[in-house]
Amino acid sequence: MIYFDNSATTPIDPRVLDTFVKVSQNYPGNPSSLHQLGRKATEVLELSRQQIKDILNLKNREVLFTSGGSEGDNLIIKGVAHNRKFSGHHIIVSAIEHAAVLNAAKQLEKEGFEVTYLSPDKNGQIRPETLSNAIRNDTILVSIMAVNNETGAIQPLDELSDILQKYPQIVFHVDAVQAIGKQLESIYLNDRIDFLSFSGHKFRGPRGVGFVIYHPNRHFDPLIAGGGQENGLRGGTENIPAIAAMAKALRLSFDNINQCQKKYIEMKNILLNFLDKDPDFYVISKNSKIYTPSIISFALIGVKGETVIHYLEAQGTFISTTSACASNRNQPSHVLMAMKEPDEVIKGELRVSLGPQNDISEMKNFVNQLEKMKDKLKVFI
């Protein structure tokens, strides 16, 4: 089997699973309980939090645990909007955000907030001047992702932050779900960014757990009311085994980040060398200065993405068309549409996304499969 769908989810690292099982067995208490078992569970919770802060070298920032990237995005977008509704009603998000951000913004529109959706340039990046032109006196929040989950386009967050330096009243949120563990943190962490959301299952942690980084001086309303957990900012008994396992997965991914980056570059080059030679293939994420090496987005012109996916699946290879949620609903990619890619590219979109467990020989096999596939599918071209 070749699994190249790591942007959808990564297989849990066995060492992480081991932590999950051990913490489940050895720390049965609820951190809110006053007795010894509760205190022991709280220790694991706080150690995990501290570990994440240390790995990311966070100063003056806090970590709040969530159920994953979608909750983190919803919590911050809705929470900030609700908390600041007396200061303004205008929100800016990019048009290429994950559905968790876009649909949270759409729900806010129904409540009377106004949302501006920023169009990317032809490479799928948001230009600083596009952001600058959209800012109004009543803008309260800007949300722009770090790395796009479909194309791998790295957003120029430092340049966008420079624009926002002039507007200290505007809250800046970054969905860094596809950046963490794959890109060095300098591309998604800087002093101007107030909030970031992350998801454990994108870096070989368990599914259904994530975290948000927040600035203690920036306020937001909780999404889940409850028993005062997470400083009163997110109700619900903390998922201690998943949180401890996620902290471990983060450490493992950081220990390995440089080797993985090198490997992804090599693997991506093998694929690009093959695709570039064949005019029937169209590559979106080619430029290595713009796109992360772990995501390669391309199309076999004239052949629908699903046809290729199912053909490869029969060979034991798993890639995807758009994001997992959009492909599931059979919708054309809003990201490629915003980039104004031609129709035939949108219909044929394919995404290969790499993870730490993949290796060079898998990419060589994959290229062979693509070569054979072209012979079989050429009737469609």
Ligand X SMILES: Cc1ncc(COP(=O)(O)O)c(C=O)c1O
Residues known to be catalytic: 325
Cβ closer to ligand X: 76 or 81?
76
Determine the straight-line distance between the first and last CA of the chain, rounded to whole angstroms.
Answer: 27
Which of 100, 102, 233, 267 touches ligand X by CB under 6 A?
100
* Residues 26 to 65 in contact with ligand X, rule: CB under 6 A: none
Neighbours of 358 (CB within 10 A): 22
Number of residues that bind ligand X (CB under 6 A): 14
Q: Report, in Å, the least distance between residue 274 CB and ligand X.
A: 26
Which of 69, 181, 222, 348 touches ligand X by CB under 6 A?
69
Q: Which residues are within 8 A (CB) of 12 and not within 5 positions of it... i.e. 6 or more apart? A: 20, 201, 204, 205, 206, 207, 245, 249
Q: Are 124 and 172 contacting, i.e. CB atoms less than 8 angstroms apart? A: no
Neighbours of 228 (CB within 10 A): 11
249 binds ligand X (CB under 6 A): no
Count of alpha carbons within 13 Å of 67, Cβ hemisphere only? 12
Which of 116, 125, 178, 333 touches ligand X by CB under 6 A?
178
Cβ closer to ligand X: 70 or 294?
70
Distinct helix (H) and strand (E) counts, the chain: 13, 12
187 binds ligand X (CB under 6 A): no
What whole-number distance in Å separates Cα of residue 220 and Cα of residue 225? 13
199 binds ligand X (CB under 6 A): yes
Site map 144..163 versus ligand X, x via CB under 6 A: -x---x--------------
70 binds ligand X (CB under 6 A): yes
Q: Which two tokens stand for residue 127?
A: 């230009």
Burial 271-293 (b: 16+ CB within 10 A, else e): bbebbeeeeebbbbbbeeebbbb
Q: Which of 148, 247, 167 is nearest to 204 (CA)?
A: 247
Q: Report, in Å, the least distance between residue 209 CB and ligand X.
A: 8
Q: Report, in Å, the least distance between residue 178 CB and ligand X.
A: 5
334 binds ligand X (CB under 6 A): no
Cβ closer to ligand X: 283 or 324?
324
What whole-number distance in Å separates Cα of residue 352 and Cα of residue 152? 10
Cβ closer to ligand X: 270 or 324?
324
Cβ closer to ligand X: 8 or 41?
8
Q: Report, in Å, the least distance between residue 35 CB and ligand X.
A: 33
Question: Which chain residues interact with ligand X by CB under 6 A?
Answer: 68-70, 73, 98, 100, 145, 149, 175, 177-178, 199, 210, 323
